[in-house]
Amino acid sequence: MDWLINIFYYLVPFLILLGILVFVHELGHFLIARSCGVKVEEFSIGFGREIWGFNDKHGTRWKIALIPLGGFVKMLGDADASSTAPGEEAQSLSEEEKKHSFLFQPPSKKLAIAVAGPAANYIFAILVFMGIFYFMGKMTFPPIIGEVIEGSAAAQSGMMVNDRVLAINGQKVESFTDLQREVDLITDGKAVLDIEREGKPLTLTVMLKETEIEGADGQKVTKAMLGVRSVNVVEVQKEDLSLWQAFKNAADETWTITDATLRGIGQMLTGRRNADDVGGVIRIAEMTGDISKQHSLMSFLVFMALLSINLGLLNLFPIPVLDGGQVLICLIEIITRREMNEKVKEYMFKIGLALILALLVFATWNDLTHLFDRWFGKD
């Protein structure tokens, strides 16, 4: 019976979240393609065999497919969903039909259509944050322990996941940011933590552990650390904001997440950050399930906005197969004022596909290793 409950908590919310984000992304492509006069033949959520669908008055087939791990819009004349190469159908298109085929559009229109998907993900994230700020108030991440790092000061002192820190050395703590700040202010390495565990108060004395981390300038520095990470939970402090203030805060939050993600990727590429943090769909499903078990709609919305930003950002990377690859090709064609050779595009596509598949394999391995450690690695 437990496995049925886990399927509900992990699989169902994950599919809902993924379906929403894929729909938003592809809707961006779809709307701009339509506005540019390009005919969209298929709008699919998922891949493989169709399980449900209908045709709209413009001849677009809207469908839900069997494998719900992505989606696509297929435009007139495309060989595949990536719109990177012409299909056999494209060779037989009439001059009138070519006017409505993505492949025969000027680079400027192709660029707009390619960027529209990631842009839709960003707009969606801003709207989610904006709604939270305007209708509910300011988001805070509570000082609840989401992970105790193995071998850290927190682990040695007996801190546990879901402990809520109430105060450090007598100073009240209301958010995870407060927790980090108070730890940074400790000069003698000793932290007396007032915590709440399963509704009961508890006091722990922790001797902070010197740990080597990367400083703001990219250099290695030694810092006294507690050794805990935040939990995927969001709380709200009521604060009346105007619509403009809510929008500005939402845009700031979106930029902060984008900046942090880019810096994290840069650290991985330069070897300054552990690549074990790279996760895939299994990790996303796991995190979605953990949040759904907490029955927190707020946390689910924030996590969805976070993933929407990451989906938009990832798709802007200049890798063929991704939207960013199409953007790169369009920019080259705009600058050179000539169409790129089809053979070159084909080789770029193959290289991009190989990179994406390698990343997918690596992320899946990390996900499985993480799950094994979670289930069997601890007593």
Clarify whether 339 is annotated catalytic.
no
Sort 261 into a burial class: Cβ within 10 Å, 0-12 / 13-18 / 19+: middle
- Distance CA(316)–CA(264), nearest Å, equals 16
Q: Which of 26, 42, 182, 253 is catalytic?
A: 26
Query: Up-side HSE of residue 176: CA atoms within 13 Å toward CB?
Result: 20
- Distance CA(172)–CA(160), nearest Å, equals 20
CA angle 236, 241, 247 (to 5 degrees): 95
Query: What would the two tokens of residue 8 be?
Result: 């509900």
The answer to whether residues 90 and 211 touch, using CB atoms and an 8 Å cutoff, is no
Q: Please state, in angstroms and as integers, the Cα–Cα distance from residue 350 to each residue in 280, 322, 324, 330, 344, following that order.
A: 21, 12, 15, 18, 10
* Other CB atoms within 10 A of residue 88 CB: 8
The answer to whether residues 353 and 82 touch, using CB atoms and an 8 Å cutoff, is no
3-state secondary structure of 106: coil
Beta-strand relationship, 220-225 and 228-230: unpaired
Instruction: Give me the active site residues, please.
Output: 26
